[in-house]
Amino acid sequence: MADASPRDRRAVVRVIFLGPPGAGKGTQAAKLAAHVGVPKIGTGEMLRTAIAKETPLGQKAHPYMEAGNLVPDDVLVALVRERIAEPDCVRGFVLDGFPRTMPQARGLEEMTGGDPHAWIVFDIEVPREVLMMRLSGRRWCPSCQATYHVVNDPPKREGVCDVCGTALVQREDDREAVVAHRLQEYDDRTFPLIEHYRTRARMAPVDGNRPMDAVFRDLLRALEVPA
């Protein structure tokens, strides 16, 4: 059933999002996963939870996250391998934040049987100055992990989570100096994946500098899923 048409409701859906930090991958991945009824696997969230709970993987990852560096490939591959072995992933999944390096892409191919042709890879493109504005305005609820933006998606009461009332914070990796570093890491380590997948998977470039709903409609069209 791995090669069934995406029009078939039982088809396996495997989606990868590429694109720089701030391109809107997390938001789109969550919407898409909910729409097609498969889990969204967000490595950023999984890491932050692991760090908060001080699990062995979390303790390994913490210093890298704090400095805005990419977490080592083996840590991320282990995290994703465990997650996609869970039963809710049999019909597929939407990956967010993974793979970001060539070794991670190879790790993913190993754990899913080696054939990336059944996957669709969305490459979300956004100009650099727009990314900087988007990222430095992000706020995050440390309690329930809801996300906000001071300009684009503010909470009802300034600085307070709508869902649970906790004070919002700026994540360490959204501070301006760290953001510049993350963008550089993207260019160095993740950008080559676009070339890698161009010949090995179904690639769909998406103009991410538009309203969220317009971007989302492009994703559905590329997946041949009804809106």
Active-site residue list: 25, 100, 138, 171, 182
Closest CA to 190 of 21, 14, 15: 21
The one segment of 51-59, 64-72, 157-165, 202-210 that binds Zn ion by CB under 5 A: 157-165
The interface region with Zn ion, picked from 35-43, 48-56, 72-80, 161-169 by CB under 5 A, is 161-169
Nearer CB in complex with Zn ion: 17/140: 140
User: Residue 33, by phi and psi: left (phi above 0), alpha (psi -120 to 50) or beta?
Assistant: alpha
| CB of 132 or CB of 150, closer to Zn ion | 150
Q: Does 166 bind Zn ion (CB under 5 A)?
A: yes
Distance, in Å, from the CA atom of 197 to the CA atom of 200, rounded to the nearest integer, reads: 5
Using the rule CB under 5 A, give the single segment among 17-25, 71-79, 146-154, 183-191 that binds Zn ion. 146-154
Dist. CA 26–CA 37, nearest whole Å = 16
**Tokens 């996250």 — which residue?**
65
Regarding 144 and contact with Zn ion (CB under 5 A), the answer is: yes
Instruction: Write out the binding residues for Zn ion, residues 21-80 only, by CB under 5 A.
Output: none
Among 67, 130, 164, 214, binds Zn ion (CB under 5 A): 164
Minimum CB separation of residue 164 from Zn ion in Å reads 3
User: Of 52 and 163, which has the nearer Cβ to Zn ion?
Assistant: 163
Residue from 49, 55, 59, 143 binding Zn ion (CB under 5 A): 143
| 161 counts as binding Zn ion under rule CB under 5 A | yes
Q: Which stretch binds Zn ion (CB under 5 A): 110-118, 126-134, 135-143, 173-181?
A: 135-143
CB of 53 to Zn ion, least distance (A): 17
Which of 140/197 has CB closer to Zn ion?
A: 140
CA–CA dist 93, 33 (Å, integer)? 7
Distance CA(127)–CA(133), nearest Å, equals 10
Alpha helices (runs of H) in the chain, residue ranges in sequence order: 25-36, 43-52, 56-66, 73-84, 102-111, 128-136, 176-185, 191-198, 212-223
Note whether 122 and 15 are within 8 A (CB).
yes
Query: Considering CB under 5 A, how many residues would be counted as binding Zn ion?
Result: 8
Contact 17, 95 (CB under 8 A): yes
Considering the rule CB under 5 A, would residue 167 count as an interface residue with Zn ion?
no
Contact in structure between 65 and 47 (CB atoms under 8 Å):
yes
Residues that bind Zn ion (CB under 5 A): 141, 143-144, 146, 161, 163-164, 166
